[in-house]
Structure 1
Amino acid sequence: MTSGIRRKAGFLAAAGLLEYVLQLGVPVILVRYLTTQEFGDYRLMWLVAQTALILFPLFLPQSLFYFLPRAAPGTRPKLVGNTFASLFALGGLSILLLLGLIPVLPSSIAGLQRHSPLVQIFVGTWILASILDVLPTADGRAEWGARATIGFAIVRAATLAATAVASGDVGWLLVMMCGLAMLKVGLAVFYALFAAQERGLGFAGQLSRIQLKYSLPFAMASGFFALRAQADQWVVAANFPSSAFALISIASAVTLLGNMIRTPLGNALLPNFSSLVGEGNVDGARSLVSKANLLLGCILPPLYGLLIATADELVELIYTRKYLGAVPLMQIYSLGGIATVFGAGHLLWAFGFGRQAATIGAVSLLLSIALSILGLQLFGLAGAVAGSIGSLVLWEWWSLTVAAKALGTSIAKLIPMDQTWKVAFVVGAGVLVAHTVSSELDTSVFPRLVAKSLAFMTTVLLGFVLTKVHHSVISLFRGATEEAP
């Protein structure tokens, strides 16, 4: 059983990594064939679509993780059919609302009206297509889901890149995006009809109401948190043209990189943590969180430090010099990533603190909007990002405080403080050395990137040895190896 879970997790992690790499690769092509305004419009369309994915699906696709494994024989097609029908209705509702809202939104978003109704059709179809991200895995076919993710990611990247090269027109890109969304819907329908454990689609009104009753509280809690993460982008979109929004959208990509490490680790830890809490084994739960935090504390700060040190070169090399204004924003996001390494929001579900999480999520969202607006007025784009990061830090540290209290301990016992200070010092030294090295170089961007990366990594590795942090890392991986079957 353990090896099966590990294999499925490996498939999903590999699929997610490839999808992330391809998502980063597409803008490399787009920025070279679109104007800054057109690229900003492209990113704004994705902002609208991602926000719609937070607001409209109502956590119904994710609810399949709860209902499908518990489903009685013959019920699975009805559960899946209910979800399809609900998402179809919610996607249609999003189209109608956006047809009326986009023209009256702030100028940068209202500018998308020239691409109407393609923007609305894409958003509505993308909402329906979101079921593919969950359905195969919830149905016990994670490998099928991983293959679908990989295949669709390749087709999506190739199609958008080829369209940008051939047309250089964001309008044609949107036409292709609508086609890709329909393809994703088609894949989900194909799975339900031909590959699911119980094939077919049905509908049951009473069962649909049960699904909705289950999903709504989770939709509120997760929605508040997800919207908080987008608050600074909406504040910028409401006050600046699309070309300025392009800068913050580029900079925010670094947050996805951190999530790729935290999310798989959190998903792997949560079932065991929940089991230990349920058994009353508080000591075991505390030990598990402490080990996970030690691992995160040794991996994420150096990663974010490397991004801080090489942000200039990375932006210039990937996005061209036109987008160097994204550099300070990327560095602020990276600092926020370091400050929230030990976030514990995902642990609250194991304690049943859903209502508290929803409440603090709502407060965090309002605070994020207020701080982003204030920061924007005082410091421009950098202030908007800093305001959003400030609210995230408060959320994560509140979550950590609640988790520590529930475990009957203090934050200091859940965080390896002695190692954390050493890692912070070493990373800071690495950033300083990297900038010192680059100041002495008068060369092109790629050699500068290599030189700064080597200087940073050498300093960090040497610092880990001198401070003996490497002993903790080795013991963690050695323990994981010994526990493997």
Structure 2
Amino acid sequence: MAAGRGLGRDTSLLSAAALLEYALQLVLPVLLVRLVSPQDFGAMRALLLVSVTLQGVAVLSLPRAMFNFLPGADAPRRRQVVAQALWLLAALSLVCGLAFGLLAAAGQLGGAFELVGRAPLAAGGYVVLWLLGSLLDTLPTASGRVRFQALATVTLGLVRTGVLAALAWWRPGFDALLAGLLVFAALKVLLLAVFVVRDLGWRGWRQDRAASGELLRYAAPLAVGDGLFALRQQADQWVVSSTLDAAALATLSVAAVVGSVPVLVRQPINNALLPRARLAWAEHRPADLAALLRISQQLVAVLLMPLLVLVALLAPDLVRLVYTQRFDAAAPLMQLYLCGALGALVAPGFLLAVIGQNVAGARIAAGVLLVSALGGALAVRHAGVAGAVMASAAALVAGEWWAMRVVLRTLQVPLSAVLDVGRLRRLALLCALALGAGVLARMACPDPVRTGLAWWRLACSATAFGLVFAVGAWRQGLWSDLRQLLAQLKA
């Protein structure tokens, strides 16, 4: 019982810290777009794109591997594993930072990276610090130091937001943003050093080829999947950043914020489903696993479809109010992303690892990446940023339905066993009616030349959508269905 309470407390602490850090991530762009130009903001996003992509591709999933080696290990074993991870990360970080700095110094970075190329030493140094500090994302939790992990997460989030906003206010421009990123990355490495020394001491940090090989053999297969996922998530940004200017990347970054909406709805449902799904598959009960998937997909559809449609309706006013009128062009891009999310509303890809289809999952990720990158590169030349977004959305939809086909074939069940098509059709009709009411209400409001009018138009359209959807959901018995689905998921 005490262990259960401890697990619940640790989970709550980490969740609260992650939620606060995520909120700070959302607040920071809202502040920066008011303090710096779109070009400067886009250049910062380009540098972040490089660092985040390299973190997914170049660190070989070493931080994630800590969860396999550290729990239950004694101090000498933990010291050995962490030492090898640090040696490997240091080498990889230096190589990546040096390569990026040399490319920037040689003037080989075009498109959105033009401003980044003017400060090659600082940009390369930031990449080194960022990649090395990535070990802090998992090491404290894997070592059982959850409080330190939560404290570090919150501290870094506050420092990043405060320092970047303060420097952008004091001296608007990319140089100030780059200085703020360097401060943030250096603090992350410092916190990593403090944790390592406090937890494992000063001695015993020699390089061990055998231990490094063991770590790499475990992490390398993970790195393939993580790398494909990272590239798949950021393919549209790479297409835009390599062909268009920094302002275009800034607009795309604002539009891509809505990509977190499906994750916030799906992740808790998937997390609740996964333990039972693993048990059903281990006990060779594919029919029960299909029933669990049907429940989760229905619940996701009921919660997510109206939310996506509502955000698409409000996107023009939300963008203007939150990100200022300079980013009005992000609103239609945001709506394109939301259309892709609606097309991928049924998303069983998270079950591929459970049913032993890791190879198929990697194949799907590679296919989606190829479609998104090549399709985006072709479309961006004819339709600009919108072309890259459409290619990304189409690849997302194709990937999830490809995953659905693999799941159905593995479980040997028809589509009707995992998806209530009739209920989905009725829900789509209801959302369409609510959308129509919201559009009519929006058209009846005056054009928002002032902020107050924009708030008024947003409130009117949201109210009309909500009223029509609530009445329709009551007539369809949707609320009672939702309660039943939640009860089935908890049972």
TM-score by length of 1: 0.93
Is 1:35 matched up with 2:43? no
Say if 1:107 and 1:241, in contact at 8 Å, map to a contact too: yes
Q: Which residue does the alignment assign to 1:327? A: 331
Match of 2:471 among 446, 450, 462: 462
Q: Sequence identity, in percent?
A: 31
Q: Which residue does the alignment assign to 2:480? A: 471
Say if 1:308 and 1:431, in contact at 8 Å, map to a contact too: no
Q: Tell me the distance in 1 between the aligned counterparts of 2:14 and 2:427.
A: 30
Deviations 1:384-410 (A, max 9, x none): 101111111111111122122222212
* Unpaired segments ≥5 residues, structure 1: none
The structural deviation recorded for 1:261 is 2.8
Task: Map 1:32-71; keep pairs closer than 5 Å.
Answer: 32-69=34-71, 71=73
Say if 1:236 and 1:245, in contact at 8 Å, map to a contact too: yes
Q: Which residue does the alignment assign to 1:398? A: 402
Say if 2:42 and 2:248, in contact at 8 Å, map to a contact too: yes
Say if 1:310 and 1:452, in contact at 8 Å, map to a contact too: yes
Evaluate the alpha carbon distance shift between residue 343 and residue 175 of structure 1 in structure 2; reply closer, same or farther with a 3 A threshold. Answer: same
Q: Which residue does the alignment assign to 1:314? A: 318
Q: Which residue does the alignment assign to 1:239? A: 243
The structural deviation recorded for 1:126 is 0.8
Q: Tell me the distance in 2 between the aligned counterparts of 1:363 and 1:228.
A: 9
The structural deviation recorded for 1:26 is 1.0
Q: Which residue does the alignment assign to 1:438? A: 442
The structural deviation recorded for 1:440 is 0.6
Task: Map 1:97-246; keep pairs closer than 5 Å.
Answer: 97-102=99-104, 103-195=107-199, 202=205, 203-246=207-250
Is 1:291 matched up with 2:295? yes
Q: Tell me the distance in 2 between the aligned counterparts of 1:180 and 1:477.
A: 41
- Matching residue's letter, 1:39: F
The structural deviation recorded for 1:90 is 1.1
Deviations 1:209-242 (A, max 9, x none): 1121111122112211221221111111122111
Q: Which residue does the alignment assign to 2:280? A: 276
* Unpaired segments ≥5 residues, structure 2: none
Say if 1:368 and 1:387, in contact at 8 Å, map to a contact too: yes
The structural deviation recorded for 1:351 is 2.5
Evaluate the alpha carbon distance shift between residue 44 and residue 412 of structure 1 in structure 2; reply closer, same or farther with a 3 A threshold. Answer: same
- Matching residue's letter, 1:30: L
Q: Which residue does the alignment assign to 1:365? A: 369
Report how many residues are paired: 481
Say if 2:57 and 2:230, in contact at 8 Å, map to a contact too: no
Q: Which residue does the alignment assign to 1:93? A: 95
The structural deviation recorded for 1:2 is 5.1
Say if 1:164 and 1:173, in contact at 8 Å, map to a contact too: yes
Say if 1:80 and 1:201, in contact at 8 Å, map to a contact too: no
Q: Tell me the distance in 1 between the aligned counterparts of 2:123 and 2:272.
A: 37
Evaluate the alpha carbon distance shift between residue 335 and residue 100 of structure 1 in structure 2; reply closer, same or farther with a 3 A threshold. Answer: same
- Matching residue's letter, 1:458: L
The structural deviation recorded for 1:91 is 0.9
- 3-state SS of the aligned residue for 2:382? helix
The structural deviation recorded for 1:4 is 4.5
- Matching residue's letter, 1:98: F
Deviations 1:355-395 (A, max 9, x none): 22222322221121121123223322212101111111111
Say if 2:349 and 2:403, in contact at 8 Å, map to a contact too: yes
Q: Tell me the distance in 2 between the aligned counterparts of 1:480 and 1:141.
A: 31
Q: Which residue does the alignment assign to 2:27? A: 25
Q: Tell me the distance in 2 between the aligned counterparts of 1:94 and 1:64.
A: 22
Say if 2:364 and 2:403, in contact at 8 Å, map to a contact too: no
Task: Map 1:375-386; keep pairs closer than 5 Å.
Answer: 375-386=379-390
Is 1:343 matched up with 2:352? no
Q: Tell me the distance in 1 between the aligned counterparts of 2:99 and 2:264.
A: 33
The structural deviation recorded for 1:456 is 2.0
Evaluate the alpha carbon distance shift between residue 274 and residue 101 of structure 1 in structure 2; reply closer, same or farther with a 3 A threshold. Answer: farther
Match of 1:451 among 437, 446, 460: 460
Q: Tell me the distance in 1 between the aligned counterparts of 2:62 and 2:319.
A: 37
- Matching residue's letter, 1:450: A
Q: Tell me the distance in 2 between the aligned counterparts of 1:404 and 1:463.
A: 32
Evaluate the alpha carbon distance shift between residue 259 and residue 284 of structure 1 in structure 2; reply closer, same or farther with a 3 A threshold. Answer: same
The structural deviation recorded for 1:110 is 3.8
Match of 1:10 among 5, 12, 33: 12
Q: Tell me the distance in 1 between the aligned counterparts of 2:7 and 2:345.
A: 26
The structural deviation recorded for 1:107 is 3.1
Q: Tell me the distance in 2 between the aligned counterparts of 1:7 and 1:225.
A: 30
- Matching residue's letter, 1:282: P
- Matching residue's letter, 1:55: V
- Matching residue's letter, 2:285: N
